[in-house]
Structure 1
Amino acid sequence: MKIYIQIILLFTAISLHAQIGNISGKITDGRESVPAAAIIVSPIGYSLAADTDGNYFIKNIPYGSYEIIFSSVGFKTIHKKITVDKPEAITLNIVLEEDNLALEEVVITGTMKEVSRSESPIPVEIITPKLFKKNPTASLFEAVGMINGVQPQLNCNVCNTGDIHINGMEGPYTMILIDGMPIVSALSTVYGLSGIPNSIVERIEIVKGPASSLYGSEAMGGIINVITKSPTKAPIISADTFVTSWGELSMDGAVKISAGKATSLFGMNYFNYNHKADKNGDNFTDVTQQNRISIFNKWNFDRLENRVFSLAGRYVYEDRWGGELNWSKKWRGSDSIYGESIYTKRAEMIGLYQLPTTERIFTQFSYNWHDQNSYYGFTPYMATQQVAFLQTYWDKQFGEKHTFLLGGAFRYTEYDDNTPATASADGTGNKPQRTPLPGLFIQDEWRLNDRHKLLAGYRFDYDKNHGGVHSPRAAYKFSPNANNTIRASFGTGFRVVNLFTEDHAALTGAREVVIAEKLNPEKSYNGNLNYVLKIPTEDFFLGFDITGFYSYFTNKIVGDFDTDPNKIIYDNLKGHAISQGVSLNTDLTFIFPLKVMAGISYMDVFQIEDKGNGEERSQQLHAPRWSGNFISTYTFPKGVSIDLTGNWYGPMRLPILPNDYRPEYSPWFCIANVQVTKKFDYGLEFYGGVKNLFDFVPKDPILRPFDPFDKNVNDPVNNPNGYTFDPSYNYASMQGGRVFLGVRYNFF
């Protein structure tokens, strides 16, 4: 009997063994193979990797239903359900999609070191080219508006100059870096993000809150770091061109060149807008006329032991003007026909060199020259600025737990203009401002264990006018598991005074600038609490990123627009200012091809000033309590996708004149955009859509546009309220709805 049972079991095993199948296929990104992708067969737990050509073969799989998981770094993980019910091999080809919004992207801005985003103790937000291509723009100034809590703000309705607000704080509190170098600052803040070719941008990193312990002055409100592509990883050729129904033309391109042990990336951006639109009928251009060209070149050099050496340079020229429709260059600087004309020339150089030593010691250097030749009506503003920067730091790993950073920096700024800012003490001559700013910094990142990480940093800077400035900071990260992360940070920031170079509202020609006293450096104290939650399920992935922030400012330099309608009076605040609030970002990805991102921010930004008869609270200009953004993408078969993007804002306080008939607070409004993209083989794609879908534009942006030189303000009959020409009432672009069409090409 026993022998019969053994024979039956043997035949049963042979029969079961015969009921097996195979699965094979190729893994690509839609154009090229994805090598070494990880493959897991659930629930049996069998795992393997694709070969260098993206091919895989899963053999001897028993009949049944399975879920196969495909993953690779930089791509979204794909889950495929399949039933094996025949011995013939089943073909399953997989196309992985780039994970443009992945939380694991490498970031450097928070700690000056390359770490994955989830490992950084400092919360960092990222824009990738894939993200800002969902709403193509002619400059990065507009693109950064896709980040929740970051607001590109136009400050003048005539020349359309502006700055970038982070958590409601004005542009001078935002430090703009290119490849970690403070290449964009002071005079060039308005134009620094214009003309950077999109084709050379790898990503944009944004840190909200003070970072002066690493980056020094101006980094007291936040940092925007533009990371350019490494030439070795860039496409051989890339191009992006679009036009709009308003007559805008944007051309962007880059080419990679190899020369021996060096690789170069050459990029160019050209933007032209030459259409005198006046939709609101005030006889002023709704949008400034612009003609801008920017050239960028970056070199990477191969060195022994993979040491780093890179050089980059950029040149920008721009001619922009706005004003009355019948203005031409012959009226430049006259008081007959009003126009604001700005010629800008700018040159930059950036370098990074790793010393040939056993220790990891890096030297960074940069230089920029900026020349501005401008007239605001008949008021001339001629200014040049040169900034040289040198920084050396030692990057050291002590054991397995301590990552140490020690460095020194020196920034030298020379600024000259035709205003009282650079006049000699007796007022008879010119005395350019020369500002040396040396600094030392130290930072230690301590991994207590897999769940806890602590960062401590300190910086000391010495300014010849203000003396020594101390900037400590601390951060803590707690990750109980892969799906939950808590970050807490505290830091201080400082900003030395560069009033004229930073506040272009003072140069519109509409108001006189008054400096009430000698200005002291500003200081800030900031705390942030950040919580990241990931909820992965079989049907969708849901991510939450919520941050509470609080900043306290002393010696804040404020412009008083209210006391006298013809003046801007600058003074250190006799009191303090506060920026506080909470922001929430959500990220929802379904197993079907729909991805949604949405963010909402609540901010309360105000100042409390002692005016002698008690404290008075006033709300910050251009800082809405409520704002948010949204990005939604649905991908159809055959390479077609549709993107819906937008930003919305609640009421924000605006600069008004006494007895102004215009409301002090803007209305709720939303700027929405839609785009359809069709991808073809060989890296070619066409796109088109509508910007400002709801055709929203502000009302009455310019007061008394018919009398821009205030020649008739003293007429009590026709001007009983004493209104003066004022173009600063701004909360959104005057550019209404428009259609755009474009084409992109990338060849690897």
Structure 2
Amino acid sequence: MKKNILFILLFATIPLFAQTGSIKGKITQNNEPVPAVSIVLLPTGQSIAADNDGKYEIKNIPFGTYEVIFSSVGMLNERKKITVNSTTPIILNIVMQDENKALDEVVITGTMKEVSRSDSPIPVEIITPKLFKKNPTASLFEAVGMVNGVMPQLNCNVCNTGDIHINGMEGPYTMILIDGMPIVSALSTVYGLSGIPNSIVERIEVVKGPASSLYGSEAMGGIINVITKSPTKAPVVSADYFFTSWGEQSLDAAVKLKAGKATSLLGVNYFNYSVLADKNGDNFTDVTQQNRISVFNKWNFEPKENRAFSLGARYVYEDRWGGEMNWTKQWRGSDSIYGESIYTKRAELIGLYQLPTTERIFTQFSYNWHDQNSYYGFTPYMANQQVAFIQTYWDKQFGANHNFLLGGAFRYTYYDDNTPATSSTDGLANRPQETPLPGLFVQDEWTLNEKHKLLGGYRFDYDKNHGGVHSPRVAYKFAPNHNNTVRASFGTGFRVVNLFTEDHAALTGARDVVITEALKPERSYNGNLNYILKVPSNFAFLNFDITGFYSYFTNKIVGDFDTDPDKIIYDNLKGHAISQGVSLNTDVTFNFPLKMMVGVSYMDVFQIENKGNGEERSQQLHAPKWTGNFVATYSFKNNYSIDVTGNWYGPMRLPILPNDYRPEYSPWFCIANIQFTKKFTYGLELYMGMKNLFDFVPNAPLMRPFDPFNKTADDPVTNPNGYTFDTSYNYGSLQGRRIYIGMRYNLF
């Protein structure tokens, strides 16, 4: 009898276990439906896509608690926890938000800890992959040019290497971080930037002005922090391929893998350009030939109590050359046919580990190995650099108002090359440079009340050659209401210099390098005033962001190109340098499907040098007083969109020779681009566009391209002005108008 009763009870409970429900709703953005959104139900893994009207329905869900993830390319993921306990459909409507419009997204660069962007006392600008996709590029170097006040500058007409200027200051003053680690610096500043694939980037945070109180040497002019994708949030599969009418090909691909409690993101980037072009007829390549591959792998682990633990590694190989059109590798290093050939090999390791303690204590570490094998004509430059970095910091909340940070860091740099920079005093032996740089830092973020916030920071570093270096910083934020925010900050920066690794002009061309004395570390003092105004209206949402900045430099290292046309003379400036100006960013999101971003910057960057008989002012090279950028996106029905992007530049001072026939200042010019995109369901996108719509090509001729080895430069008859071969006169890419076509795919 008992068996029969038990059987009846078990049979009666079967329908209870078999009961299912459903979830349905509509996905919108700015009151418009968002089609083709990927929807994943966890932990079942069930996946569907919203229809063209933004509607969706997940059926046959067994009773229980689930997490629903809504994701779409270029938008912030939405995660909702929901319990299904009824057969009646659950209505779940979702409002999606653009990545680049998320004013409260988390940033870390300004304070070295996660904080809402709107709450940060340090102004931080953010660019996301969605902005990159409006004008696809093959590397980070080109992509960051879409930020107002940030200018990728080509420094050589032959090998097309460059650096990134912030507010008109030269590339060595810009510190490049990957996940907060100083991965790209010194030797790799010139070539490492082009090896960072866009596929690994979650966002880029830009801080303008010194940040040495947290990040030490090199953070004099600003910081660009590349935040890589978290494997747990990345698509399962992603790919992006495009090619241009000039013959460029770029491929980004990544896959997410799961191994126990660990999640991995494996990505690869390949770029190739091997089409010779000489459209200005000087017998030199207009664009360097490049063959580059980069492999990236990042792991996120899941220790107990949700502590942080991640490891990442990257390897880059690049073969690039530029020179005379008939150059081949058999002429590498010869004085018969001129070519600049650079082989680059680079390996990186980065990691973050939260200690298993009750306090929030983090350890970050990185190591990079960079090897460069290059010839500039017949001048060899063989260099190897290794940088090891570790820092540990304690993140502590004291009471409700004090957010405290205390840490120590140690950076070790090994550098060896074949130049006098690493030779012994008598020049008879090789002596690689080994530079240990320990530092301590402290920071307190004090919330006075909901409207006022004060931040104070201090760092002490010790360099074996220069002694102790002090770097204080103070910042203040005042937000009387949600629509108005004022930020003011003051800070100092310093830079320990390795000249040969940072100034490409010291190697290319035919000038001799002269160093007049032992160079001292550079110092900077900076003040920023930032005001943000949000203006909601019936027809649009407007956001104005205006910043005034002033930086004062001492011991600035300058290259004198003017005294002797055959030399570059380096010395600490006997005087000071100033970078000052104002920038304005405007974002407008209309109620109809049009979004616009417009930025303009005015910069006055100059140096004052004491000449003994008075002071002499000179304008900074490659620092235009006026620059600007613009982005406009219009979305049509059926998932079509059009993007117009561009940058414009005012006149910039260029390096010229005595009696030079070339203008000392460049003209006003604009590089504009247009792109058409079609989004399909299940994460597929097709796009095509045109770069450099107005077909602007700089009139930046090489000096004496017919005699790159200066074999007849001393002939007073054929060369009465004493001109020498020179590659440094440059203010933009020599690529003209070109069409591109591409495809993207993301599977979440």
Q: Scaled by the length of structure 1, what TM-score is found?
A: 0.89
Kept after mapping to 1: 8 A contact 2:25/2:57: no
CA-CA distance at 1:717 after TM superposition: 2.2
Find the aligned partners of 1:600 and 1:26 in 2 and give their Cα distance: 35
Q: Specify every segment of 5 or more residues in structure 1 that has no aligned partner in the other structure, as ranges.
A: 1-22, 37-49, 55-71, 78-90
Return closer, same or farther for 1:463/1:94 CA change in 2, 3 Å cut-off: closer
CA displacement 1:566-608 (0-9 Å, x = unmatched): 1110000000000000000000110100000000000000000
Q: What residue is the counterpart of 2:510 in the other structure?
A: 510
Three-state SS of the structure 1 residue aligned to 2:194 is coil
2:413 matches 1:408: no
Which of 35, 45, 52 does residue 30 from structure 1 map onto? 35
Q: What residue is the counterpart of 2:739 in the other structure?
A: 739
CA-CA distance at 1:401 after TM superposition: 0.4
Kept after mapping to 2: 8 A contact 1:378/1:509: no
Amino acid at match of 1:731: Y
Kept after mapping to 1: 8 A contact 2:209/2:222: yes
Kept after mapping to 2: 8 A contact 1:27/1:34: no
2:323 matches 1:318: no
Find the aligned partners of 1:197 and 1:557 in 2 and give their Cα distance: 32
Amino acid at match of 1:592: F
Return closer, same or farther for 1:312/1:94 CA change in 2, 3 Å cut-off: closer
CA displacement 1:360-404 (0-9 Å, x = unmatched): 000000000000000000000000000000100000000110000
Q: What residue is the counterpart of 2:469 in the other structure?
A: 469
Kept after mapping to 2: 8 A contact 1:298/1:313: yes
Q: What residue is the counterpart of 2:294 in the other structure?
A: 294
Kept after mapping to 1: 8 A contact 2:394/2:405: yes
Within a 5 Å distance, the mapping from 1:105-504 to structure 2 comes to 105-504=105-504
Find the aligned partners of 1:719 and 1:438 in 2 and give their Cα distance: 53
CA-CA distance at 1:253 after TM superposition: 0.6
CA-CA distance at 1:291 after TM superposition: 0.2
Find the aligned partners of 2:614 and 2:159 in 1 and give their Cα distance: 39
Three-state SS of the structure 2 residue aligned to 1:193 is helix
CA-CA distance at 1:143 after TM superposition: 0.2
Find the aligned partners of 1:223 and 1:274 in 2 and give their Cα distance: 33
Kept after mapping to 2: 8 A contact 1:365/1:390: yes
2:588 matches 1:588: yes
Three-state SS of the structure 2 residue aligned to 1:715 is coil
Q: What residue is the counterpart of 2:44 in the other structure?
A: none
Kept after mapping to 2: 8 A contact 1:355/1:362: yes
Find the aligned partners of 2:439 and 2:570 in 1 and give their Cα distance: 28
Between stretches 95-104 and 112-121, larger displacement belongs to 95-104
CA-CA distance at 1:92 after TM superposition: 12
Return closer, same or farther for 1:115/1:377 CA change in 2, 3 Å cut-off: same
Kept after mapping to 2: 8 A contact 1:195/1:270: no
Find the aligned partners of 1:241 and 1:522 in 2 and give their Cα distance: 43
Find the aligned partners of 2:219 and 2:380 in 1 and give their Cα distance: 30
Superposition RMSD in Å: 2.2
CA displacement 1:381-436 (0-9 Å, x = unmatched): 00000000010000000011000000000000000000000001111010000000
CA-CA distance at 1:715 after TM superposition: 2.1
Find the aligned partners of 1:457 and 1:35 in 2 and give their Cα distance: 43
Return closer, same or farther for 1:24/1:324 CA change in 2, 3 Å cut-off: closer
CA-CA distance at 1:539 after TM superposition: 1.3
CA displacement 1:493-531 (0-9 Å, x = unmatched): 000111111111111042111101010000000000000
Kept after mapping to 1: 8 A contact 2:672/2:691: yes
Find the aligned partners of 1:525 and 1:217 in 2 and give their Cα distance: 14
CA-CA distance at 1:53 after TM superposition: 6.7
Three-state SS of the structure 1 residue aligned to 2:621 is coil
**Would you identify which runs of 4 or more consecutive aligned residues in structure 1 move more than 4 Å?**
23-29, 33-36, 50-54, 74-77, 91-95
2:719 matches 1:719: yes
Find the aligned partners of 1:51 and 1:422 in 2 and give their Cα distance: 65
Three-state SS of the structure 2 residue aligned to 1:694 is coil
Amino acid at match of 1:639: N
CA-CA distance at 1:532 after TM superposition: 0.2
Return closer, same or farther for 1:422/1:26 CA change in 2, 3 Å cut-off: closer
Return closer, same or farther for 1:441/1:93 CA change in 2, 3 Å cut-off: closer
Find the aligned partners of 1:252 and 1:550 in 2 and give their Cα distance: 39
Kept after mapping to 1: 8 A contact 2:241/2:742: yes
Return closer, same or farther for 1:354/1:52 CA change in 2, 3 Å cut-off: farther
Amino acid at match of 2:627: S
Amino acid at match of 2:124: V
CA displacement 1:330-388 (0-9 Å, x = unmatched): 00000000000000000000000000000000000000000000000000000000000
Find the aligned partners of 1:96 and 1:144 in 2 and give their Cα distance: 26
Find the aligned partners of 2:38 and 2:319 in 1 and give their Cα distance: 45
Find the aligned partners of 1:400 and 1:279 in 2 and give their Cα distance: 64
CA-CA distance at 1:449 after TM superposition: 0.5
CA-CA distance at 1:698 after TM superposition: 1.0
Three-state SS of the structure 1 residue aligned to 2:457 is strand
Find the aligned partners of 1:466 and 1:491 in 2 and give their Cα distance: 20
Find the aligned partners of 2:513 and 2:255 in 1 and give their Cα distance: 46
Amino acid at match of 1:477: K
Three-state SS of the structure 2 residue aligned to 1:194 is helix
CA-CA distance at 1:31 after TM superposition: 2.9
CA-CA distance at 1:651 after TM superposition: 0.2
Return closer, same or farther for 1:93/1:363 CA change in 2, 3 Å cut-off: closer
Kept after mapping to 2: 8 A contact 1:197/1:253: no
Kept after mapping to 1: 8 A contact 2:351/2:365: yes
Q: Scaled by the length of structure 2, what TM-score is found?
A: 0.89
Three-state SS of the structure 2 residue aligned to 1:510 is coil
Three-state SS of the structure 1 residue aligned to 2:213 is helix
Within a 5 Å distance, the mapping from 1:599-610 to structure 2 comes to 599-610=599-610
Return closer, same or farther for 1:32/1:330 CA change in 2, 3 Å cut-off: same
Return closer, same or farther for 1:34/1:264 CA change in 2, 3 Å cut-off: closer
Kept after mapping to 2: 8 A contact 1:30/1:96: no
Kept after mapping to 2: 8 A contact 1:26/1:33: no
Q: What residue is the counterpart of 2:529 in the other structure?
A: 529
Find the aligned partners of 1:387 and 1:24 in 2 and give their Cα distance: 52
Find the aligned partners of 1:680 and 1:76 in 2 and give their Cα distance: 19
Kept after mapping to 2: 8 A contact 1:197/1:267: no
Corresponding residue pairs, total? 685
Find the aligned partners of 2:38 and 2:720 in 1 and give their Cα distance: 74
CA displacement 1:282-336 (0-9 Å, x = unmatched): 0000000000000000000011000011000000000000000000000000000
Three-state SS of the structure 1 residue aligned to 2:638 is coil
Amino acid at match of 1:205: E
CA-CA distance at 1:24 after TM superposition: 7.4
CA-CA distance at 1:94 after TM superposition: 7.2
CA displacement 1:538-582 (0-9 Å, x = unmatched): 210011000000000000000001001111100000000000000
Find the aligned partners of 2:315 and 2:38 in 1 and give their Cα distance: 37
CA-CA distance at 1:619 after TM superposition: 0.2
Q: What residue is the counterpart of 1:571 in the other structure?
A: 571
Amino acid at match of 2:676: V
Amino acid at match of 2:36: R
Return closer, same or farther for 1:649/1:190 CA change in 2, 3 Å cut-off: same
Kept after mapping to 1: 8 A contact 2:168/2:605: yes
Kept after mapping to 1: 8 A contact 2:122/2:475: yes
Find the aligned partners of 1:161 and 1:397 in 2 and give their Cα distance: 45
